[in-house]
Structure 1
Amino acid sequence: MSTELTRNFSIIAHIDHGKTTLSDRLLEYTQTITERQQQDQLLDAMDLEREKGITIKSHPVAMKYKAKDGITYSLNLLDTPGHVDFSYEVARSLAACEGAILMIDAAQGVEAQTMANLHLAMEQNLTIIPVLNKIDLPAADVEKSKQQLEDILAIPAEEAIPASAKNGIGIEDILEAVVARVPPPVDNDDNLLRASVFDSIYDAFRGVISYVRVFSGTIKPRQRIKLFATDKTYEVKECGVFTPKMTKRDELIAGDVGYVIANMKSADEAKIGDTLTDSTHPCLEALPGYKEIQPMVFSGIYPVDSSDYENLKTAMGKLQINDAAFTFMSESSSALGFGFRCGFLGLLHMEIIQERLRREFNMDVISTYPSVIYEVTRTNGEELIVDNPSFLPEAQEIEEIREPMVRTFIMVPSEYIGDIMSLVMEKRGELTHTETIDDTRVMLTCELPLAEILVDFNDRMKSMTRGYGSMDYEHCGYRAAKMVKMDMLIAQEPVEAFSTIVHRDKAETYGRQLANKLKDVIPQQLFVVAIQACVGGKIVAAERISAMRKNVTAKCYGGDISRKRKLLEKQKKGKEKMKQFGKVSIPQEAFIKVLKND
């Protein structure tokens, strides 16, 4: 089909505003799938996506649509994730499109992630088609949503299409708008092959399968291609499109979104964002790539059984090709053995990776407490990047520690503004800007340390606002802070696995929590065991595990009391001696209980 009749578009929205439901309806309406194939969340291939009701991977699909003008168009749809952790997936999908459907829940209105995804689309100069979804709900307020479109997003209200993806209302109007408003792909006059690799998956039998958007030229089987990043050449074995299953084609032409299987054997050969071109007649320069994704959260992942180390390494390599934002490198711990230091985009991303390791590769893993990257200036002027507490220099060698900051946009009903402000202050954040969205909602712009919003910030914000609050964040540099390394001493011995970098003001609270947790999981010894949280040689919190008592006087049935005293004195001396030489061996189960995220 000619380039003029091709339309490439994405669906973007806040999480749970109905993107996947709309893509299901579009597939049904264009008869891309039969009634027999029909099921909810059709493009969500993973069990995890279905269970959690979220999209994790973007899924391309090619559809044929006969418009009202009688012409049949080829529509390439890329469904995108909605959660803030997966905004890199959204950016990659948008780079392969000319237009985007912006979905807004008519009952909820414009939310934080709606604005973030719209800005991503505008950076790529895409045509925006606003859709007001869920108009059939009793709580839907279409007029108010239209007003928000104009006031907050500066999009004319008359462009909005009212729809209900669940009940199939307005689907034809959306397809007609895509055909009429989204511009066709622009072909290059020189006809040299330029294709952008926007995703890839690993198949055990076929090797690496690259998802590509062809910008100019054609791709055919048996053609020799070259990748710009590695400068390696390959032979194309198969190419095709998604309908939504992989469907073989004789060629992919300019404007097509499809897949290419070349003889790539290992996971690291396909770089996401790379340009694919013909090896005999290559284009002169690569297409403008995607920005390199920087992990924001780090955590150690270790196999429960140390003999699974190599299997875990292979599993992570395969996961990495399906997820360009996931990074890992080998590390070892005296307590947990050999494992990996892994980088993630956020806490949900970390949870998804661990769950995929368990389900897809049958790996039983332990993860350490999540941490972030700190910038450290030593007294001799040397600059360090620290993502692991064990790499932090001694306190006397440190001139300054800088922690990563995030600019957070929180949209909440106005009656909860006081609760949210106190939460922000508790998390060492500061409110920089307040904006009234409409008569019921406000948007707070805050600057917070990334380490503080990692674990429970979003959950607490949701429960405080009864689920009506939404948030989005972006990295905004580093700031000097009073960060210290806190060690946990068990029987005067530091245990490396429990070391963390915390703010000086919160060290005592966190130390007490960890000491309490350890007290419950470390088994009793024959002597008193002291558990201490220590910052720079100073004990900030302590707990003790009482000694296991052996009844040494059980054999004395009366007689002089001095016999019992003699035995008790002997036991006392023995315990003192044991305290000096005794070692506390912490069982593996204790590490798993403490380090696994609650």
Structure 2
Amino acid sequence: MKNIRNFCIIAHIDHGKSTLADRMLDLTQTVTAREAQAQLLDNMDLERERGITIKSHAIQMDYVLNGNPYKFNLIDTPGHVDFSYEVSRSIAACEGALLIVDATQGIQAQTISNLYLALEHDLEIIPILNKIDLPSSNPEEVGDQIIDLIGCEREDILLASAKTGEGVDKILEAIVDRIPAPDGDDDAPLQALIFDSVFNSFRGIEAIFRVKNGTIKKGDRVKFMNTGKEYDADEIGTLKLTKFPQKEIKSGDVGYIISGIKEAKEVKVGDTITTKANPASSAIEGFEEVKPMVFAGIYPVDTEEFEELRASLEKLQLNDASLTFEAETSAALGFGFRCGFLGMLHMEIIQERLEREFNMTVITTVPNVSYYAYTKKDKEQRIIVNNPSDYPDPAILDRIEEPYIKAQIITKSDFVGAVMTLCIEKRGEIVGQTYLTSDRVELTFDMPLAEIVFDFYDRLKTISKGYASFDYHPVGYRQSDLVKVDILLNSEPIDALSALIHRGKSQDIGRKLCMKLRELIPRQQFVIAIQAAIGAKIVARETLSALRKDVTAKCYGGDISRKRKLLEKQKAGKKRMRQLGNVEIPQQAFLAVLKLND
């Protein structure tokens, strides 16, 4: 065990994590020249197209230093805040972390939040300045920022270039010298933490785990402590570029288990594996619960595919434990699921993965949060409003409460004014302001959760030039003055576009939404009236004019009454068509609300 090192790589998006992982795999000869390719661990098409890491990826490397063989378990983690749950899972399975900072850009938002996550788990941090080969790199100044942030010595900071490979050998030596070996007892009852899982259509579910104590052997009867289910360990092994089956895996090591599990809900990330013969007395603690930020409905375009969509979401949840979902129905869209996401990018990625990996064509509704409504008849009996369609009749409504959060925003002092303006515009109240260093400020706000759902995070990133990290925790429900804004197309309400909005902003948002829909809905052969209504009161209207065919083109010369007759006939046809015609709403229209400020 003293020769095992478990570590992850944490960094802001695009600071060179995946490239550094490639260089380490080259140096330790884990991959052959034929297998090598850029961003080797990013094995999803989406990751390569967008140049971002979406999934954590575990891989084992063998390294020899001064004649001693070492076993490195590396977990490459995502950098975008929407996938911070992946990072928290990886950190729970490690003793050390490589903190990578781009020498041209300095410390940025996600670096700070991921660093705090690592420090909470008492991980040994190795700071690395990457991209020192670039002419615009500034190692002196960025080095000072790192010293301010984690209080290390300048000689502790390693200089490297993942692109050229410079300094990577020093990083491998530092991993051996600085990161502690895992502690555990091979003879104790088995305790193994599941930190990831993958669905294999031939062999069932593969759970990836880190053994804290004890030993797991092939053929053991194992028990998952959270679900209470028992299985046979048909195959266990370690993860290199492919799977390497083993006879046993001892404490401190990382591996996978295949036991023919077919049901996705039987494997929970954060669960503890133990043996039936010698069970552990308690499960491993300290695993973070996922906190969905954005809720939206996902519906199959064809209602017959509902069960297929459920199966797809369950398989996706295995691979991405931060996705939560429950069944719901909509008058306009039929049966579907109400899903919880960590942010707008996460929502976009899930939608795209459903389409690519499972061939599911889905409609996503406007994101929202859950409210509590109380009626005049029974002022203590609360009604949970998950969807604007559950909103009770305003005539019998006594009050409505919405969820509030305590938001913590860390940013550079240059952007404090802009961040405050944004939060106050989103109905936030400032409750604290702390200077962490001379140019980094922590701002604390009480804010309604509904206000951060739409475009808050994107706008925060824009005004702070990407340099703001955002975290939150719920602080309960508070009474609020909310109204339901309905969108009507030719007097027909579209429940998937309804939203609960604060009264002060309702007219403005209703007007913007009508204008946006006018751009997005394709023109028909009849006039379409797009209206925003609060109850029976229409607060905004846009008219989408009809596509007109020139019926008088073939009628030239002669009396004007001939042309008029043709136009009257066309007018009557359009009137009849308007009564019968259905307006197809494109997918972009459902997401129009998110981009009202563009």
Query: TM-score, normalising length from structure 2?
Result: 0.88
Task: Write out per-residue CA displacement over residues 438-486 of structure 1, whole angstroms, 9 at most, x where no aligned residue.
Answer: 7777665555544334444444455555x45343332343454432211
1:113 Cα deviation from its structure 2 partner = 1.3
Distance 1:503 1:65, change over 3 A: same
Deviations 1:505-538 (A, max 9, x none): 2211221122234445275576x65432112333
Number of residue equivalences: 585
Task: Sort the Cα spacing of 1:547 and 1:161 in 2 relative to 1 into closer, same or farther, 3 A.
Answer: closer
Give the aligned partner of residue 363 of structure 2. Answer: 366
Q: Would the aligned equivalents of 1:135 and 1:142 in 2 still touch at CA under 8 Å?
A: yes
Q: Distance in 2 between matches of 1:410 and 1:38?
A: 38
| Cα distance in 2 for residues equivalent to 1:358 and 1:576 | 37
Secondary structure of the 1:219 match is strand
Give the Cα–Cα distance (whole angstroms) in 1 for the partners of residues 384 and 57 of structure 2.
Answer: 36
Q: Quick check: 1:403–1:481 contact (8 Å CA) kept in 2? A: no
Are 2:485 and 1:486 aligned? yes
- Residue 594 (structure 1) aligned to one of 566, 578, 589: 589
For the pair 1:407 / 2:368, whether they are aligned, the reply is no
Q: Which residue of 2 aligns with 1:296?
A: 293
Q: 1:287 aligns with which of 279, 284, 288?
A: 284
Match of 2:10 in 1: 12
- Structure 2 segments unaligned to the other structure (5+ residues): none
Q: Deviations over 1:238-265 (max 9, x none)?
A: 1111112211112111111010001211
CA distance in structure 1 between the partners assigned to 2:227 and 2:442 by the alignment: 45
Does the Cα contact within 8 Å between 2:187 and 2:215 map onto a contact in 1? Answer: no
- In the alignment, which residue of structure 2 is the partner of 1:383? 382
- Which of 190, 202, 212 aligns to 2:199? It is 202
C-alpha separation between the residues in 2 aligned to 1:4 and 1:310?
Answer: 49
Which AA in structure 2 matches 1:496? D
Displacement of 1:327 after TM fit? 1.8
CA distance in 2, matches of 1:493, 1:300: 20
Correspondence for 2:149 among 139, 152, 162: 152
Query: Following superposition of structure 1 onto structure 2, how do residues 40-79 of structure 1 map, counting pairs within 5 Å?
Result: 40-68=38-66, 70-79=67-76
Change (3 A) 1:430 1:135: farther
Say if 1:523 and 1:236 are closer, same or farther in 2 by CA, change over 3 A.
same
Secondary structure, counterpart of 2:305 in structure 1: helix
Say which of 471, 486, 493 aligns to 1:473: 471
Q: 2 CA distance for matches of 1:345 and 1:104?
A: 24
In 2, the alpha carbon distance for the partners of 1:242 and 1:275 equals 19
1:159 offset after TM fit, Å? Answer: 2.0
From 207, 217, 221, the counterpart of 1:220: 217
* C-alpha distance in structure 2 between counterparts of 1:499 and 1:326, whole Å: 24
Alignment partners' CA distance in 2, 1:193 and 1:457: 45
- For 1:393, the equivalent position in structure 2 comes to 392
- AA partner of residue 285 (structure 2): P
More displaced 10-residue stretch of structure 1: 57-66 or 325-334: 325-334
Partner deviation per Cα, 1:300-341 (whole Å, 9 max, x = no partner): 112223333332222112111111111222222222222222
Question: What residue number does 1:30 align with?
Answer: 28
**Distance (Å, rounded) in 2 between the aligned partners of 1:162 and 1:559:** 85
Preserved CA contact (<8 Å) 2:8 2:98:
yes
Could you tell me whether the CA contact under 8 Å between 1:5 and 1:72 is conserved in 2?
yes
Shift of 1:360: 0.8
Contact 1:296 1:373 survives alignment (8 Å): no
SS in 2 for 1:335: coil
For residues 149 and 551 of structure 1, the distance between their equivalents in structure 2, rounded to whole angstroms, comes to 70
* CA–CA distance in structure 2, aligned partners of residues 534 and 594 of structure 1: 17
1:529-571: CA deviations, max 9, x gaps? 543211233322123456789999999976999xx89x97x99
Match of 1:353 among 338, 350, 360: 350
Asked if 1 retains the 8 angstrom alpha-carbon contact of 2:15 and 2:102, the reply is yes
Moved more, 454-463 or 39-48: 454-463
Residue identity in the other structure for 1:35: A
Partner of 2:167: 170
Q: 1:522 to 1:36 in 2, by over 3 A?
A: closer
CA–CA distance in 2 between the matches of 1:92 and 1:388? 31
Q: Residue by residue, what CA displacement relative to the aligned partner does 1:384-434 show, whole Å, maximum 9, x if unpaired?
A: 4433111222334242322343514253472x5554444444333455555
SS state at 1:226 partner: strand
SS at match of 2:249: coil
Mapped to 1, the partners of 2:560 and 2:219 lie a distance apart of: 99
Cα pair 1:412 1:468 within 8 Å, conserved: no
Partner of 2:504: 505
> One-letter code of the match for 1:389?
P
The answer to whether the 8 A contact 1:515-1:532 is kept is: yes
Mark the CA change 1:406 to 1:22 in structure 2 (over 3 Å): closer, same or farther. Answer: farther
RMSD in angstroms over aligned alpha carbons?
3.3
Kept in 2: contact 1:102–1:129 (CA 8 A): yes
**Mapping 1:85-100, distance limit 5 Å:** 85-100=82-97
CA distance in 2, matches of 1:302, 1:157: 54
For the Cα contact (< 8 Å) 1:115–1:153, is it kept in 2? no
Deviations 1:215-238 (A, max 9, x none): 122222211111111211111111
Q: How does 1:136-285 map to 2 (within 5 A)?
A: 136-188=133-185, 190-285=187-282
Alignment of 1:81-120 (within 5 A): 81-120=78-117
Instruction: Report Cα offsets for 1:14-72 as digits up to 9, x if no partner.
Output: 1111111111111111111112211111111101111111111111111111113x211
Q: Does the Cα contact within 8 Å between 1:408 and 1:448 map onto a contact in 2?
A: no
Q: Distance in 2 between matches of 1:488 and 1:429?
A: 27
1:170-216 CA-partner distances (Å, limit 9, x unpaired): 21221222111211111237521111111100000010000010112
Q: Is the 8 A contact 1:525 1:584 kept in 2?
A: no
Sort the Cα spacing of 1:442 and 1:307 in 2 relative to 1 into closer, same or farther, 3 A.
same
Amino acid of the residue matched to residue 203 of structure 2?
A: R
User: TM-score, structure 1 length as denominator?
Assistant: 0.88
Candidates 337, 345, 360, aligned match of 2:334: 337
User: Using the alignment, how far apart are the partners of 1:575 and 1:37 within structure 2?
Assistant: 66
| Cα distance in 1, alignment partners of residues 551 and 70 from structure 2 | 90
